[in-house]
Structures are given as C-alpha cells and as structure tokens.
Amino acid sequence: MDLRQMEYLVALADEQQFTRAAAVCHVSQSGLSAAIRSLEEELGTTLFSRTTRRVEPTDAGLALLPYARTMLAQSAAARDAVVQATRELSGELRVGAEQCLGIVDVPSLLERFRRRYPLVDIHFTQTGSHDLVEQVRDGDLDLAFVAITDHLTRVTRTELGRWPVVLLCPPEHPLAASAHVEWSDLREQDFIDFQESWAVRSLNDAACATHGVGRRVRCTVNDVHTLLDLVQRGLGVALVPQHVASKPQATGLVAVQLPPSEAPQWVVSAITGSPAAASAPLLLEILDAELRRRDVAPSEEPVGVAAASR
C-alpha cells in the first residue's frame, strides 16, 4: 500500500463515482481504476462494489478507510513539521481565488501553509478572475489563482492546468441526447452564466461570438452551485469547465461535448505581482509538491506546476 493508493481510495469512497474521484485527484479515470484494482489484488479482497450508477465501499473498504485517512493526514503533518522546524517565516500573505477552480483546492492549500508557517498572517479574498488580476497588479494581493490568460501585463503567470468547456443541460433538454453539439445548435438557447468578472463568462462570450452564436443569458449568477441549481430546474443551459459538470451537485445533469477542435480551454493559473510577499513562492512550492505527488504514469499529461511566463 502507498499514499497514492490511499488518496484514490478516500476520493472514491467520498465521491462514489470513478469519474468524479479521478477529477478530484487530477488523474485519468483509467489510472485511478488501475490503482484501486492493484490495491484490491494486493489485499486479496474487493474494496468497492461497482454498479452502473455508483460505487460503494464494501465492508473491507469501510474497514480500511479510516486508516487511509490517517495515513494521508500523518504524511502531510510530517512534511509540515519538518519544514516548520527548519524555516521561520513571519509577515503577511494576501491571496485571492475564483470559486471552484478544480485544479487547486485553495482552502486545503491555505491550511497546509498555515501549518508550515504559523507566524504568517494570511488574508484571503474570493472574487472573479478579472477583479483578482487588477488587485494583484495594483499590489493589493500578493498572489491569486485565476482562470484568465489575457490582459496579464505586469504580472507573472504560472499555468497549473486546464479543462475543456462543455455544455451542461437537464436530461429532458433536446440536446441532452446528443453525443456532441455543434455551435450552431446553441443558437436560440436560453443560457445561465456567471457575472462578467468571472473568467468563464468572458471565455464563453468570446467563443460564442467567434462561432456566430448570439446568446440570450437569462440568468446571471455569482456562485457555481446556484448555476447548477438553475440548470437542474430547467431555466437554461450553461457552458462550464468540464470539472464543474463532475461536481456532486451536478448529478443528473448531462454534459455534452463541444466540437473537440473548437471547444474553449479553461486555463487555471497562479499569478503574482511585483513586488510580492516573500511567502508567495512558498505557497506555490507547497502546491507544486502536491500536484507532482498526484502525477500519474509518464504517458499521461503532467499536472505539475509549469514554468512561469510573463
């Protein structure tokens, strides 16, 4: 047994679906399935019962689960204790993020940072990516996690990962039965989307304009779960990053693929300004280690922090 298998075990027990668990762990579904099968073979027992709709821990899986959680917590605490013993850091760190980025779990990341550097005073802001860029550029934030790639002058950007945008609709919608949709299919649809400060809104607006889709945005929201609720209630369709369609709150909704060569890419990045707090690179250092720990077989696309670009 290793820590990666324990991470996959916990994620699958929590999400009860291979697709969602793989998204949480930032690995392919095949990679996660292979790791669980390998663990079951090592232990000589079935850890999950599998049906077409959900995956549930067996008695053996439930018996292993608390030990898996303990192993992961102790591993993280051990690494943090070593760093804390060798590095003393104080001061202030101002961090911002857009909601539900998927690639990075910001609350968990800040918790790890606090354990390692307890003397640093952390300030956190949640708002849209466009507003975050301005706050970093103006020196009001040291670091922000955003989903925008344009208009990033005077900041340093480090790409963390990317998801394709998909169409999300209720199961009774005429487009729900399609394997994929063309952009022309989206004309005359009622849309639910985010406020203009959100990166995905500008991404959707630009993509629709490029493909000649004049959108009717009937509902404008400032929360992912509200958007999913409105789609569930049949008030419109939504263009969302693929990981949003895998959230538990999206259960029952249908994610339909856009044309592969034309689907917008939702790119998550960390941006820093100049000057930034000395602790900002250390936060990214923790994130980089976490993402690299989740890396899978060499044949798959790496998800570690990429080289920074101006």
Domain residue limits, the chain: 3-83, 89-159+272-309, 162-265
Q: Which of 148, 149, 157, 261 shows the shortest CA–CA distance to 210?
A: 261
Structure tokens at 155: 């900041």
The pLDDT of residue 188 is 87
The DSSP secondary structure of 170-190, one letter per residue, reads -TTSGGGG-SB--GGGGTT-E
Q: How many other C-beta atoms lie within 10 A of the C-beta of residue 301?
A: 9
The pLDDT of residue 304 is 36
Residues of the chain with pLDDT under 70: 79-81, 83-88, 293-310
d(CA 250, CA 299): 30
The DSSP secondary structure of 140-151, one letter per residue, reads S-SEEEE---SS
Structure tokens at 252: 């029952």
d(CA 39, CA 93): 40
Place of tokens 């090592």: 42
The pLDDT of residue 168 is 95
Dihedral-angle region of residue 197 (phi above 0 means left; psi in -120 to 50 means alpha; beta otherwise):
alpha
What is the sign of the dihedral through the CA atoms of 219, 224, 226 and 227? positive
Pairing of strands 143-146, 120-126: unpaired
Place of tokens 């609709």: 169
Q: Which fold has domain 162-265?
A: D-Maltodextrin-Binding Protein; domain 2 (3.40.190)
Q: Which of 145, 186, 144, 148 shows the shortest CA–CA distance to 265?
A: 148
Asked if 98 and 267 touch (Cβ cutoff 8 Å), the reply is no
| Choices 3.40.50.300, 3.40.190.10, 3.10.105.10, 3.40.1010.20: CATH for 89-159+272-309 | 3.40.190.10
Asked if 201 and 140 touch (Cβ cutoff 8 Å), the reply is no
DSSP 237: B
CB contact set of 183 (below 8 Å; sequence gap of 6+):
208, 211, 212, 213, 258, 259, 262
| Choices 1.10.10.10, 3.60.10.10, 3.50.50.60, 1.10.20.140: CATH for 3-83 | 1.10.10.10
Residue 186, phi then psi, degrees to nearest 5: -90, -10
Fold identical between 3-83 and 89-159+272-309?
Answer: no
Is pTM, for the whole model, over 0.75? no
Place of tokens 């344009």: 150
Beta bridge partners of 180: 257
Asked if 236 and 191 touch (Cβ cutoff 8 Å), the reply is yes
Q: How many other C-beta atoms lie within 10 A of the C-beta of residue 51?
A: 7
